[in-house]
Structure 1
């Protein structure tokens, strides 16, 4: 996708960018949101899957005067009122699926055990654990015995089970324990008793009576609709089914902390046996806390998508889930990547078309460090722990645009994703804003044109700073992941990278060597790179590192053939110890400069002989001339004399 190319010709592109003109680009459906600062920020509506009844919507409708049947008519259109006799449900108690379960009597009546003459007296605790293919039970400081693969415990006031944290839950009906590596614990309980532990767990007991009646019918219908004679249990006790709290909870000291409320008990009694039916079958009456303003289509004809003004933001007093926000670490989404990958970007590719932002997310992509994975909106919800899949991932581009308060002028494109899906951007009349994991920053004018010429984020990477004025006020710069671009009216815009940039920074940035006059450039021999600045040059090779060469020393080095003559610099220019000049060392020698002598290269045997006599502090002083060959003899003059090198004898003599 040529997403920013104003023309296929690079030259034409640069001209248009430099002139500050940007052609508006077509809108793109995908919403590309990089994890800025290692996190994603969400704005959303609703709590839960949104299918069927909204519990907060039921409350809002009840407060407006609707009866529970009218409420259910809206959320399950086409269903009818029907009745079912009370029956026993097999409820799997997931919190107790451990290697052992502790049982005690909740009141002064003893518990009985199937097939046993023993009982659990008040104040005793029975611990049941696997024993081979069967079970064993032992009372603290009392009896013990073995049983088959299943045992039931019951009492006139239910059974008290102890959780791992030391707290207790009382259940009505019978507790059935089935052997296995982890015990299966089942509460065989009458449906109407079961509902007393479900309705207050699913809807606040302070809700209007009609809303609680609607919840009672929906919960009753849901439970009966999922029965499976082939399964070990009929239903679970968590949000994977519907939440079941039992009859009572107690703290570690046995003090009751919760019991079934009168309001929900009354709603269950008032609707006893009532269900919703469709085509002769119990309706699958899904529900959730809030649909945010739109119901979601489900798997049944009566689970339709429809606008729900009673469940939208502000519809019900006290509702806090129609609107929500959340900030989630990007690492929370790593589980959605292939093994070993880290989440970098969320790309929303599809929505259901209903409501804000285009509705709930239906399809998306997770861009990871090791590839891209297609996911659903519900999968993103699960990974991030968000309240629903109706969300918008906050745009760092739009946040930055707001912070700039119109400084870039009007937008000339929609917000779009970069081709690599690692960032997003938007063009404006006065520049662009790019967002990535590095942050959201503005890039403008000639700096933007140069960045474009270098390949956008595929060249220098994404920006890591916004358009900023240099401290001396003479230019502007942007930092990028792979370097920087500096601009001044005298030099134009040029990139500075890597070790060359680090050396330039060490020397004081533009206050040291001035602004760059070329970009990062490879040397003709292909063994290094360089950047020219107003006050000199910095050359780099893998063998020597990056070093600055300036003034007459730079000109002398150039006259000798640059890096093909003396090789690359091995030091930056430095003042002589005696303060009478400067020198730079190169792979093939050194260049010394003094105000009285100029710049001259010294190398090879002459250099060694000069060094042996004390360099510039010895009797020869500074070099005053370049090397001169006369036949097989090389001579070089110094302030204190001349050194001659005989290429035949390989000896140096002072003349």
Structure 2
């Protein structure tokens, strides 16, 4: 069996790598299962040179730099994309939905879906992901969910169906949609969490109107592998945001409590659940923010940050969060004057 790679620049050609060579280079992973691109440099048709690679096997995973992978397998360069590996995608968090290598926030506006793309300098620019985004009740950018390792979006319709909108290398949604499942009429929030269950594949959470929180485990092929209730009482939160806020490599959650606006931190276990909530050490009433979103590590401290939109004037602010549930001083990040509620 072989894994097929396609090279982008400076010349386009294809190469096949025997799976036995990958297993020999990374014996700790056991039997080879999938190959994931975990980062790119930002330019070109596929967002540039490959920067990071995750080798997934029956016994575990190995995350290496693209240069190390190139040297181990004898590849010509790091300008390549996986065309079969076998056909599965692996999780990424934070989510790059606009294919520029940086985290994004999603904003439905009228019949369009916009992505707020981080500029790298505590600012954001808006780009259109779709101009046919009407009749959708809930939207969430969940990251790679189908077999191509590109950022995908899920959306629920008013009739209770959930649809997958696969992304492309240019950061738009022009590939149609596929049906995932029904019964989403009683879900009031979809939360993207990357690989919450620790199996290497993208998961997402659904909060039901009764306050129960359930994990939908992905399998890298664009479908849901299993569903499990992981909590109750989550109706107490007006907003819930994901991210690795303590820097341990696992997805955590923070929630804004409806009763007093306090921020509650839930550390991820890496096994599809979260630990008991801890109050953040700030008495700030977070109800001043119309949006609180996980946006990735914008300040470079190894922990993901929060992007908020102030309800009074649309000002955007970035807050750092540490593993002790400490919230740092906000940094200005522009404004967003639209009034539509953001997606997850």
- Normalising by structure 1, what TM-score? 0.17
* Bigger strand share: 2
- Normalising by structure 2, what TM-score? 0.30
* Bigger helix share: 1
